Structure 1
């Protein structure tokens, strides 16, 4: 894939970039290693000042970078600006809290004495240069939720962003430099995916984080395993959205629409499989379909657009094939289900019912505004359907029954359970999945410690 900005609303190539050659990549790796030697000794107050400045600059740039993201990957413009604001919030969250989150820990005095020590401390020390392989769907947020904690922990970052969002990738490097971070603290590598393996094998790269597809995660995990390097992987998701009889049905249906089509449905944590108790299934389905049909699909630069184009032509083709396979196998289309005429990579909000385990859309992630609707006879069947997936990123449950809440919280196979609300990432809460959705956690105190050397300091009497 060329490194280029291609407007998904019309297919026009706006800007292309030459990939960095081996010499430039080598220069940046040397710079990252050299910068880390000094950056790791900086104090939290300096790191926090620079990161807070980056947040201020991002707020100032919100209109401009929002438009860049929309033009590069088709996100509705209001959502682009909201993404920039969310990134600034996360930067400030870590700037204010990192020192406390990484403070030395003192084990219980009885354990210290039992070990024969006079004092024991657990320290969190940075690892070094970390390679971040990031996707196009949240081109700012995916990077910042790695970069903010990594930089506050004293690491330096090397970003290999998706080839379709080069302007956003270069903006991020410039943003951190303008904020006061040394040149080698955060660098963008304009390279293709084929270069990732060699960079990860380089001894100067100490760890890696990847958000993306399952095949990409397997490739990075394989190389990192061979090189014995720490990785955090956030991969696909096919999140269930369960509605039980006690739910506020109007609210559940309203939120369901947003949960499915946020970012034009191109979100790992978007609700994708809607599992509704038979007692309220038909009433929910009527409201849900009505809401999906009412969405405005159009030019993502228009303020009132709710669903834009898919980010790539291949992405639309992949989504279309999932829907067509389901239709051929007997699924019923309640709305949407066919690509529109005209330019751009649009696909309409779609709801499928009558989905069976044999259909690809049941097993695979639908990365676009396509929802599958299931009927469950009781709580046990709802859980059975919800967990019948190779993924386990997040989940959504609508019920006012406290016993049901506890049962879902215990038995759903996912990294998060959101009750009476839709999944959303927040800097204060750990984010990540199980099964083929990956491993490790981003955000919160758990995320900032992922790329730290957790060191025991034992002192004798």
Structure 2
């Protein structure tokens, strides 16, 4: 097995201690060993501040944007090497496209925004002068500048490229160096992209470091100018958020965790309408892209009771055509989960939902799995699983339990007020969507649900032509 090294203080290094293996998601073969024990992680913070931070701080916003654009071009030119490694995580070519080229597009997008809107300076005036005296000789103005700290980004396994780049873009624009801690399960892909960036020479030394493995005691050495972001499970995030050092130094902490996203079919939509087909396609795409391993994936499918039978039949027919297996096989449309541990976790969550008011319509266990192609018997595959909850107001588990795989639950509503109530029971979601051809229904539902969603997508036959979809990782 290959040792997956970290990039710390300008050196590629490997730890000494307990190792963890990374397995091929399709074949089950052990590919890499990971260990960061004993690495000078605390020193990496000082290295970032003294080298990367100081270099970025003297660059103007325009120069940082130009740097990011150059990095994006370099990554795009070397994308095929990343696709090869992405296949190890169970991703299809389409899954990898969302992660790899979607992440690169995010760098381009932020660079473009900065190029158009930010000054060629290290200070960003937020507004015009605000008079504070009668003669306007005494005035105030708000400006934004860099902090002499480090951004520690702890990322999830499902987007090893995009998850890093969507955080690096605003971090570098802000003139701060970053230390990336990818999830171990797919760290090899993040490491490959970091290597491309480092070897390009386009980024100042110390502006980007990488920890493959655990973070050790690095939290103990964070200071008030630093920032921490976390993407992953709510349980782990809450534990990190309450770290004494973060509380003592009032260190900025941003968390993106479990999200029970919903998709609502409007009361106006009938099976004969184009919007009905759009809804079915959107739900199935979100269930199966990256094998359902997206923070924005649709988990709760909210449908008018009068259309439940038609929706159920249409979804089952389309899901029945989804081929699962080795992404290298030309007929495969859905790959594997990232590893066996994740597959087992999905099964446990599905079992819990089945014990708490849900029933299976398809999938729901490994016995329902049919694989396309040979040599995938040891892979971390899970069948597309559609559940049905007849009484989602009584059975609350469906609004608080996320099976992070190709799993979604159908639930009925009687009127728009109930649809809104069900959407809000998700207790705050990253993304929601509404498929309707009625502007009044759209206005009513969006006004009532926007407060609980980071993004709300409205789809009809016109918008669907150009829409990037419910769960697209937009910058």
Q: What is the TM-score when the length of structure 2 is the normalising length?
A: 0.83
- Mapped partners of 2:326, 2:240: distance in 1: 36
Aligned pair partner of 2:163 in 117, 142, 148? 142
Contact map agreement 1:98 1:149 (CA 8 A) in 2: no
Moved more, 220-229 or 96-105: 96-105
Cα deviation per residue 1:112-169 (whole Å; 9 max; x = unaligned)? Answer: 5469654533222122211000011011001100001211221100111111223223
Whether the 8 Å contact between 2:56 and 2:64 is mirrored in structure 1 is: no
Counterpart Cα distance in 1 of 2:175 and 2:160: 23
Partner SS state of residue 334, structure 1: strand
Is 1:203 paired with 2:223? yes
The alpha carbon displacement at 1:280 in A equals: 1.9
CA–CA distance in 1 between the matches of 2:357 and 2:126?
61
The equivalent residue for 1:47 is 64
| Corresponding position of 1:453 | none
Partner of 2:308: 281
Residue 411 of structure 1, CA deviation: 1.5
Of 405, 408, 413, which residue of structure 1 is paired with 2:445?
408
What is the deviation of 1:192?
A: 1.2
1:311 equivalent in alignment to 2:338: yes
**Partner residue, 1:220:** 240
Contact 1:333/1:350, CA 8 A, preserved across alignment = yes
CA contact (8 A) 1:77 1:302 kept: no
Q: For the structure 1 residues 115 and 187, does the alpha-carbon distance in structure 2 shift closer, same or farther, using more than 3 Å as the test?
A: farther
| Gap change, CA 1:99 and 1:227, over 3 Å in 2 | farther
Gap runs ≥5 in structure 2: 1-17, 270-274, 370-376, 460-468
Distance 1:183 1:303, change over 3 A: farther
Q: Which residue of 2 aligns with 1:269?
A: 296
Is the 1:76–1:302 Cα contact (8 Å) retained in structure 2? no
Shift of 1:358: 3.7
Q: Is the Cα–Cα contact under 8 Å of residues 322 and 360 in structure 1 kept in the other structure?
A: no
Match of 2:104 in 1: 88
* Higher-RCO chain (CA-CA 8 Å, sequence separation at least 6): 1
1:380 has 2:417 as partner: yes
1:459 aligns with none
CA contact (8 A) 1:78 1:303 kept: no
Q: In structure 1, what is the equivalent of residue 462 of structure 2? A: none
Measured at CA, do residues 422 and 166 of structure 1 come closer, stay the same or move farther in structure 2, by a change above 3 Å?
closer
- 1:246 matches 2:268: yes
Rounded Cα–Cα distance in structure 2 between residues aligned with 1:405 and 1:179 = 49
- 2:191 counterpart of 1:170: yes
Give RMSD over aligned pairs: 2.4
Whole-Å separation in 2 of the counterparts to 1:21 and 1:69: 29
How far apart are 1:17 and its partner, in Å? 3.0
Give the structure 2 partner of residue 125 of structure 1: 145
Structure 1 segment 287-302 matched on structure 2, within 5 A: 287-302=314-329
Distance 1:166 1:6 in 2: 11
Residue 457 of structure 2: aligned partner: 418
Kept after mapping to 2: 8 A contact 1:265/1:368: yes
2: CA distance, partners of 1:33 / 1:110: 34
SS at match of 2:100: helix
Tell me the equivalent position of 2:47.
31
Q: Distance in 2 between matches of 1:322 and 1:164?
A: 19
Name the CA shift for 1:334/1:183 in 2 (closer, same or farther; >3 Å).
Answer: same
Instruction: Kindly indicate whether residue 349 of structure 2 is the aligned counterpart of residue 322 of structure 1.
Output: yes
Distance 1:331 1:400 in 2: 30
Deviates further, 225-234 or 101-110: 101-110
* Deviating more after overlay: 121-130 vs 181-190: 121-130
Structure 2 counterpart of 1:152, from 173, 184, 199 = 173
8 A Cα contact 2:125 2:143, kept in partner: yes
Report the secondary structure of 2:378's partner residue: coil
| Deviation at residue 198 of structure 1 after TM alignment | 3.4
**Ranges in structure 1 where 5+ consecutive residues have no aligned partner:** 428-461
- Aligned in 2, Cα 1:226/1:394: closer, same or farther, shift over 3 Å? farther
Give, in whole Å, the separation in 2 of the partners of 1:151 and 1:47.
Answer: 7
Q: CA deviation at 1:6?
A: 1.1
Deviation for aligned residue 1:367: 0.5
Q: Quick check: 2:61–2:118 contact (8 Å CA) kept in 1?
A: no
Contact 2:346 2:403 in 1 (8 A): yes
CA 1:121 to 1:347, structure 2 compared with 1: closer, same or farther past 3 Å? same
Whether contact under 8 Å (2:365, 2:383) holds in the other structure is yes
Q: Measured at CA, do residues 10 and 120 of structure 1 come closer, stay the same or move farther in structure 2, by a change above 3 Å?
A: same
